[in-house]
Amino acid sequence: MNTPRHFTDTHIALAHGNGGRLMRELIDTLFAHHLGNELLDTRVDAAQLPFKVDSGELMVTTDGFTVEPLEFPGGNIGSLAVHGTVNDLAVSGATPLYLTLSAFIEEGLEIALLDRVLESMAQACRDSHVQVVAGDTKVLRRGQGGGIYFAMTGIGVRPTDLLLGIDQIRSGDVVLLSGSVGDHGTAVLLAREQFGLSGELKSDSASVLPITQALIQIPGLRFMRDPTRGGIATVAHEIAYAAGLSVRLNETRIPVLDPVRTVCDILGYDPMYLASEGRVVAVFDPLNAELALNTLQSLGYADAAIIGTVNSGSARVILETKLGGERILEELEDDPLPRIC
């Protein structure tokens, strides 16, 4: 891959890991420049391997997990690692099967904490019907890590006839969201007990496999993504950037829980950019979007909503505000909440 090299930064910053423009530039102009090949596609959550199995196509994904604090309302870094890996396969249309795990543990970590994290990881594996089949462990000197870092790889199988990807999106398509936004990012922020804030909000960290398995049965599904780092605004920018289309979101239709909105109002965050770890953004053709919405709501995802459309025009993201105006949602630059997932 002969990637143009326009990377002008001289040092890595936290913002290079936030899922926004700086992260994309880092990946495209350094990693893809050196490691690119015919199989590497930096736009997807999981890559299709050039092997066929009786039940479909093999898919593989890999991810790293670093969160502060390690335990938060609704989960911990163990369950988060499983959910994050499983979800990247799920939104690619695959059924997750096997995981590998690399653990980087800081000297001095309490064994009781590690035991709780691994117990949570095991339960998440059972819930998602996946198995950890290989792994590696490294111990870092005290002060050289954040307690625990996990790196996890997942393998799954996708139906051969499933056409799903950002290149399938067309002007006129509809954007569907499976639930409220920013729950994970806000829950982790509250767990840090900064700014004198606290609350009972739980992370939405969960497997999205029940959502994706239902959606792939509905005709007209174009694309799915889980809005983790950078939130739904960053997913919308991925669509606009890759498809060369305009994405228009309707603020009144985007579900935001009251605790999330309150924290954002107090601290000046925008829920459009906050991480969710158990949600799906899906793009459907307009003929089948209502069927998809009704299907999710019938499965118990009461907050699922149609939140926007994809249109012809310049590659940008427009938010129709509650006041009846419009504003451009810019790409995420600074990292509002580092070490979030």
Query: Where among 158, 177, 193 does a domain terminate?
Result: 158
- Answer yes or no: do 95 and 77 share one domain: yes
Instruction: Say if CB 156 and CB 94 are below 8 A apart.
Output: yes
- Return d(Cα 240, Cα 81) in angstroms, integer: 28
pLDDT digits (tens, 9 = 90+) for 156-177: 999 999 999 999 999 999 999 9
Does 211 share its domain with 146? no
Residue 297's pLDDT is 98
Distances (CA, A) of 209 to 56, 90, 94, 292: 17, 5, 9, 15
| Tokens encoding 286 | 């307009």
106 plus 153 within the same structural domain: yes
Q: Are 205 and 80 in contact (CB under 8 A)?
A: yes
CA distance 274 to 3: 30
Residue at 227 is within a domain: yes
221 in the same domain as 178? yes
DSSP alpha helix (H) spans, 268-318: 289-298
Q: What is the CATH number of the domain that holds 270?
A: 3.90.650.10
170 and 318 in a common domain: yes
Within its chain, how far is the Cα of 331 from the centroid?
A: 16
Cα atoms in the 13 Å half-sphere on the side-chain side of 113? 14
246 in a structural domain: yes
181, 271: one domain:
yes
pLDDT band for position 2 (cuts 50, 70, 90): very low
In a domain, residue 337? The reply is: no
Co-location of 201 and 262 in the same domain: yes
Q: Is 52's pLDDT higher than 80?
A: no
148 and 174 belong to one structural domain: no
Domain that holds residue 71: 43-158
Q: What is the mean pLDDT of residues 302-318?
A: 96
Does any domain span residue 3? Answer: no
The answer to whether position 75 is within a domain reads: yes
Q: How far apart are CA 103 and CA 276, in angstroms?
A: 23
CATH code of 150's domain: 3.30.1330.10
Tell me, yes or no, whether 112 and 218 share the same domain: no
CA dihedral defined by 75, 84, 102, 153, rounded to 10 degrees? 160
Kindly state whether residues 138 and 236 are assigned to the same domain.
no
127 within domain boundaries? yes
306 within domain boundaries: yes
Q: Identify the residue with better confidence: 135 or 213.
A: 213
pLDDT value, residue 200: 86
Report whether pLDDT(3) > 50: no
pLDDT tens, position by position, 272-286: 999 999 999 999 999
Instruction: Report yes or no on 4 lying in a domain.
Output: no
Question: What does the pLDDT look like over 70-125, one tens digit per residue?
Answer: 999 999 999 999 999 999 999 999 999 999 999 999 998 999 999 999 999 999 99
- Co-location of 97 and 151 in the same domain: yes
Average pLDDT of the residues of the chain:
90
Residue 55: band (very low, low, confident or very high) from pLDDT cuts 50, 70, 90: confident
Whether the Cβ atoms of residue 15 and residue 22 lie closer than 8 Å to each other? yes
Q: Which of 141, 158, 175 is the last residue of a domain?
A: 158
Domain co-membership, 153 together with 174: no
- Classify strands 317-320 and 246-250 as parallel, antiparallel or unpaired: parallel
**Number of structural domains found in the chain:** 2
Q: Which of 158, 174, 207 is the last residue of a domain?
A: 158
Q: What angle do CA 198, 228, 59 make, to 5 degrees?
A: 145
